Structure 1
Amino acid sequence: MPEKVALYAGSFDPITNGHLDIIRRASKVFDKVIIAVMTNTTKKYLFTYGEKEDLINSQVANLPNVKVIDGKNRLTVDLANELKVDVLIRSMRNTNDFIYESGVSQINHLQDRNIETLYLLSDPKYANISSSMIKEIITFGGNVSQLVAPEVENKLKQKIKGIH
């Protein structure tokens, strides 16, 4: 039986506990999960691709079937084809995500009809977490300890301190 492999692509700036929950759950369903740090041209990043990869790797070190790669300046479908992956993992927190993710899925399917998208619903405790919100909270000295891992929180504080 062929190995079941999925691709979870995102900007992960930074990786949140919500992302980690999706990764852990996907790693139970698939033989291998590839996390791709991608480019989203609508976002302004705090971390470099390398920094994001390092942060993600530190958080998934206990998941032997998870691999982190750089997907910078690539279409997700092209990367999936290169990796010979036909399942994309996407997460949904709320109805806004449903609307957005439905459009992404349709565009990906137009690019390659063999690509399927598997949606994992966020755990309700992570349903309102976004990387943008976390950056905003940390910028103004708020507490994000329940939203990101301690290492991620420390890196966020260092980055924000360097900017201000």
Structure 2
Amino acid sequence: MGEKIRRALFVGSFDPITRGHLDIIEKSLRVVDELIIGIGVNANKKSTLSLEDRRLILEKIFSEEERVRVVSYSGELTVHLAERLSCSCLIRGIRDSKDFEYEQTIAQMNAQLAPEITSIFLMSDPKYRHISSSLVKEIASYGEDISPMVPAEVIAILKEAMEKA
């Protein structure tokens, strides 16, 4: 296993992107040549940040990293998006055993649907395991400082979006 993976896909709603997400992305870039970050759009879920804001934040954060590309998608299984984008693997971040149980089930289903695509689980750094996008939004709604939990690019845009809501 000395060679890198050519292209991988890391998906999420990124509503907002957190330092935990960034940790997984940084770890991914150690083993892949190109990482595609897929912003999933779920029509049944109301996002705090618009798709445009989420995309803008990600593109700004990774503007200097030529090995990262940002796409958005909806109405398509993640594994089929990976096939369409010629990705050989899906990157999944794991914070705890609950995440592992859930992701293991999804990985098994994806393997049945697209056996040529491998799921790779990367463990979150312990200092980020407690962070989730929903918890960040709850804390921000009380006016608390979220800067230890999210990249700087998120703070003003999230505050503005929450004031509009």
TM-score, scaled relative to structure 2: 0.92
Moved over 3 A (4+): 40-43
Aligned to 2:30: 28
1:39/1:74 contact within 8 Å kept: no
Structure number with higher relative contact order (C-alpha < 8 Å, ≥ 6 residues apart): 2
5 Å matches for 1:55-134?
55-134=57-136
Structure 2: unaligned runs, 5 residues or longer: none
Does the alignment pair 1:48 with 2:50? Answer: yes
2:38/2:70 contact within 8 Å kept: yes
CA–CA distance in 2 between the matches of 1:42 and 1:117? Answer: 25
* Counterparts in 2 of 1:120 and 1:106: CA distance versus 1, 3 Å: same
* Counterparts in 2 of 1:99 and 1:144: CA distance versus 1, 3 Å: same
How far the C-alpha of 1:82 sits from its partner, in A, is 0.7
CA–CA distance in 1 between the matches of 2:149 and 2:35? Answer: 22
Aligned to 2:159: 157
Mean CA deviation greater in 45-54 or 125-134: 45-54
2:4/2:33 contact within 8 Å kept: no
Mean CA deviation greater in 46-55 or 133-142: 46-55
Count of residues in correspondence between the two structures: 163
Structure 1: unaligned runs, 5 residues or longer: none
Residues 14-40 of structure 1, C-alpha deviation per residue, up to 9 Å, x if partnerless? 111111111112112111000010134
* Counterparts in 2 of 1:3 and 1:131: CA distance versus 1, 3 Å: closer
TM-score, scaled relative to structure 1: 0.93
What root-mean-square deviation, in Å, do the aligned CA atoms of Structure 1 and Structure 2 show? Answer: 1.7
5 Å matches for 1:130-141?
130-141=132-143
1:16/1:131 contact within 8 Å kept: yes
CA–CA distance in 2 between the matches of 1:47 and 1:131? Answer: 11
